[in-house]
Amino acid sequence: MLNPTCYFSVFLVSIVSCFYENNSNYEPKWIYFLNNQKKLMSDLFDGYDNSVSPVYSQVDPSKPLGYDLEAPKRFNYTLFLYFVKLVEVVEPEEKVTLVLEISEAWFDPRLAWEANSYNGINTLYVRQEKVWSPTLNSYKVNDMNDLRDQDFRIVSIDSSGRVNTTTSLRMSINCPLNVAVFPFDSQTCVMQFTMPLFPIHFVELHTELFDGIANSTAWSLMGNAEWDMINLTNRVEILAYGDYQLATFEITIRRNPMYYIYMIVLPSFIINTLSIIGVFMRKADRMSKLNVGLTNIMTMTFILGVMADKIPKTGSIPLLGIHIVVNLFITVAAVAVTVFIEKIKKVVLPRLRKRKGLWSYKLEGILEDWMDIICMIVLETISCVNFFIIIGFWIANS
């Protein structure tokens, strides 16, 4: 004898099967829509060849655009950018990696229909492999990956023959970096796309930006921890060595210098300041002073090595590099001056003490008591000026 659970399971299966097998259980308008859509699909793709493009190519490239007034307009292809996210900037390789959300739109007159003939259906959604799609190539790109599932791409077609699809791309672009004011630099990078084989006489490219990303509030969400996006523009350019158009999107990013201020500039200033004081301490012996100076020199050299790994090998020295090199020279100068003063004291002081004049007594006091202090103040002043120059750039760019 069957238990109640088995009876209940059989009942559910019968109800569900009845629903899916009996069209009368659907909404009548839905059934009517599906029937009209099926008819539209049959009529629309009857004789349609998705291996042949709808681009009108019976044009003489040697003549100006629009010379044939009876010919149809050029094939219209639009790239619509509605999101961009900065992933990383690999500075030694001058490579910028981005994730883009792009919508593509074009017209295929073979896919137009009269909506009234199909109960007002204006939009049709089909697999992308059923329609002809233009080939989009990137320009000056290291690599590009399409994040869409290759087997489940959908396009929308409206009754005018306009085809729309979206794509998610992860691309690494070549972006020459100007690091002259590193780490307060801003960089401008371009993403360019083109339709190969279709020159300007056949195809008209357009670019558009989604209104929601054309403002500073949206840009603040598109950067990463180190870089902020400060501008995003679009335009269409002509390839320099051919009659091909380039759909161009340009981004401007600005580095966040806080890491370098707190991890390099401020510590190096403090170390340099204390080192200068240590080198000119009057009660310390000569070897202790030299140890302090040489330790600081090695520290500055290490910081230079760390910074060199972060930037491309260009002909210009970045601002932060100049700052560290100046600190390095200040330390070298402090060590050299200390050795020089010790030598002067050993040679000059005994001679001054033999002479019992007023000027000899004053010079002896300056050499013995004030020379170290004067040199320390001069070098500390130079170090402070060097530090505040960097801080001034920080304030000016904030």
Q: For residue 250, what pLDDT band results from cuts at 50, 70 and 90? A: very high
pLDDT above 70: residue 14: no
Give the C-alpha distances (Å, rounded to integers) separating 160 from 45, 157, 182. Answer: 15, 8, 52
Rounded average pLDDT over 253-277: 91
pLDDT above 80: residue 350: no
Q: For residue 233, what pLDDT band results from cuts at 50, 70 and 90? A: very high
Beta pairing, strands 227-238 & 203-209: unpaired
Higher pLDDT, 372 or 59: 59
Tens-place pLDDT, residues 199-232: 898 999 999 999 999 888 999 899 998 999 999 9
Please tell me the distance from the alpha carbon of residue 45 to that of residue 125, in angstroms, as a whole number. 13
pLDDT above 80: residue 23: no
Q: Which pLDDT score, from 0 to 100, does residue 365 have?
A: 54
Rounded average pLDDT over 26-31: 79
Tens-place pLDDT, residues 290-344: 888 888 888 888 888 888 777 777 777 899 989 999 999 999 998 888 887 777 6
Neighbours of 288 (CB within 10 A): 13
Higher pLDDT, 309 or 234: 234
Common-topology check for domains 75-256 and 259-397 = no
Q: Which pLDDT score, from 0 to 100, does residue 21 have?
A: 46
Please give the radius of gyration of the chain, using alpha carbons only, rounded to the nearest integer.
Answer: 37
**For the chain, what percent of residues have pLDDT higher than 70?**
86
Rounded average pLDDT over 260-270: 91
Q: Which pLDDT score, from 0 to 100, does residue 186 have?
A: 94
Higher pLDDT, 225 or 355: 225
Tens-place pLDDT, residues 131-180: 999 988 888 888 888 887 767 789 999 999 999 999 999 999 999 999 88
Q: Which pLDDT score, from 0 to 100, does residue 240 have?
A: 75
Rounded average pLDDT over 124-128: 94
Q: Which of 376, 398, 364, 193 minimizes the C-alpha distance to 282? A: 376
Q: Which pLDDT score, from 0 to 100, does residue 359 have?
A: 53
Q: Which pLDDT score, from 0 to 100, does residue 159 have?
A: 96
Q: Which pLDDT score, from 0 to 100, does residue 367 have?
A: 55
In order, the DSSP letters of 290-333 are HHHHHHHHHHHHHHHHHHHTTS---SSPPHHHHHHHHHHHHHHH
Residue ranges per structural domain of the chain: 75-256, 259-397
Helix (H) or strand (E) holding 143: strand 141-146
CATH fold of the domain at 75-256: Acetylcholine Binding Protein; Chain: A, (2.70.170)
Tokens, residue 270: 């403090």
Q: Which pLDDT score, from 0 to 100, does residue 25 have?
A: 54
pLDDT above 50: residue 19: no
Q: For residue 354, what pLDDT band results from cuts at 50, 70 and 90? A: low
CATH fold of the domain at 259-397: Methane Monooxygenase Hydroxylase; Chain G, domain 1 (1.20.58)
pLDDT above 80: residue 121: yes
Report the chain's mean pLDDT, rounded to a whole number: 85
